Amino acid sequence: MNPVAATNWPELWPATSSQSRMDFFDVATTMPTMRRFSDRAIDPRTIERILETANMAPSGSNAQPWEFVIVRDQAARGEIQKLYELAWVPYKDSATLSPRAQKALRVGDEFSASLAIVPVHVVVFLDRPKMRVVRGSPEDLTNFGATYGSVFPAIELMMLAARALGVGTAMTTMLSPHEVETKALLGVPGLYQLIALIPMGYPAEGFKRPFRKPVWPRVHDGHWSRAWPRRP
């Protein structure tokens, strides 16, 4: 069964079809930051399923302080690309990185230049009044984990849900220097804070396991001085 062609949620996740569901660990370990997308449209029901899943994320006091602006209009996506490029070019030009990272920058150039073709841009905003902390205040600066820890789990769930349905994503905060312009473009009220842009679309080249260094050198057993005792 093709999940994108489903007409309702029970059909989207049929209990009897093993092909419709991915093992969680396969989802989580084959979710690279997607940089090359096709321009294939995403069915609105698939988008809604992804967002319903994101909405199940935990948040402080169950505040659910996230707001998602789903940008599908091509002209608006083009304007987002222009804002992205305004931040990307100076970032790239100032970077002094390893050969691996230099390769990533070249892929980043391609991503920046083709951002407008990605069929869905999810722009994530934080409802600051729900967090009861004034932006930029001493409390905000010293306890930022409580604030942003209430929105990033929703982004992660969104990306996991997308991967489970065969949709690729990337998360970028590159628009942050152009928050004012982004909010003006999308008609977002002033009290909301721009958090991230999530381009969302079907991958041009499929999914693969991303490169990661082993976790074990960064795992400590009860005390920083003790390494985790890995079992043979």
pLDDT tens-place string over residues 23-67? 999 999 999 999 999 999 999 999 999 999 999 999 999 999 999
pLDDT on residue 2: 39
Question: Which pLDDT value is given to residue 6?
Answer: 36
**Token pair belonging to 103:** 């390769």
Query: Per the structure block, which two tokens stand in for 205?
Result: 């080249």
What is 21-205's CATH number? 3.40.109.10
> Structural domain boundaries of the chain?
21-205
Q: Which helix (H) or strand (E) holds 140?
A: helix 138-142
First-last CA distance in the chain: 41
Q: What is the pLDDT of residues 185-195, one digit of tens each?
A: 999 999 999 99
Mean pLDDT of the chain: 89
Residue 9 has pLDDT above 90, yes or no: no
Backbone angles phi, psi at 193, to 5 degrees: -105, 130
pLDDT confidence band for 7 (50 / 70 / 90): very low
pTM comes to: 0.87
Q: How high is the pLDDT of residue 20?
A: 65
**What does the pLDDT read at residue 85?**
97
